[in-house]
Amino acid sequence: MDRPPLILSVMLMAWLMGAATVSSAQDLAQEAPHAFTISPGYRFTEKSGEALYNATCAGCHMPDGKGAQGAGHYPALADNPAVEAAPYVIVNVLHGRKAMPPFGDAMDDDQVAAVVNYTRTHFGNRFA
Ligand code: HEC
């Protein structure tokens, strides 16, 4: 008898669903970085730059390289002029940088080279 018009119910549902989607995407972006830890003695087994990027960097810098803003600042690697200097990227990966962990003990030289090359040639980066 007193049911609201159907159109209002549909609009309310769409609004609720939209709101839920937005908040869960934000939670993901904020919490993904905190979930990243490397156990002592762990060695990554991935070989290709893409697989290494997805297993390591993507958790903080995001799969599209655009970085994240949450509890911390995770700089974009996409279109980032700092990524042009290969040694700079290598040093960051080997030794870490503030909130970024060092990967030097968990990757061999080939893996470091692969993931650095991948970062410098994807996400709009075109560095030789
Ligand atoms: C646990 C999160 C985390 C992971 C995992 C991570 N980074 Fe970072 N990275 C950061 C943070 C935070 C910074 C900014 C540090 C600062 O405050 O200067 C950063 C900075 C950088 C920078 C310097 C950017 C600039 O503009 O100076 C590069 C390059 C970089 N990361 C590459 C990588 C690569 C490649 C990987 C994967 C091998 C990786 N990062 C994995 C968190 C992370």
**87-115 pLDDT per residue, tens:** 999 999 999 999 999 999 999 999 999 99
Residues with CB under 6 A from ligand 1: 33, 36, 56-57, 59-61, 72, 74-75, 77, 80, 82-83, 89, 92-93, 97-101, 103, 115, 119
Q: Write down the pLDDT at residue 113.
A: 97
pTM as predicted: 0.79
- Fold that domain 32-120 belongs to in CATH: Cytochrome Bc1 Complex; Chain D, domain 2 (1.10.760)
Q: pLDDT band at residue 37, thresholds of 50, 70 and 90? A: confident
The CA-atom distances, in angstroms, between 26 and each of 22, 49, 61 are: 6, 27, 14
How does residue 16 score in pLDDT terms, banded at 50, 70 and 90?
low
Q: Whose CA is nearest to atom 40 of ligand 1?
A: 57
- Going by C-alpha positions, the residue among 41, 110, 43, 31 that lies closest to residue 69 is 31
For the chain, the domains span: 32-120
Half-sphere exposure of 55 (CA within 13 A, CB side): 19
Per-residue model confidence (pLDDT) at position 69: 86
Structure tokens at 111: 């893996």
Q: For ligand 1, what atom is nearest to the CA of residue 73?
A: 12
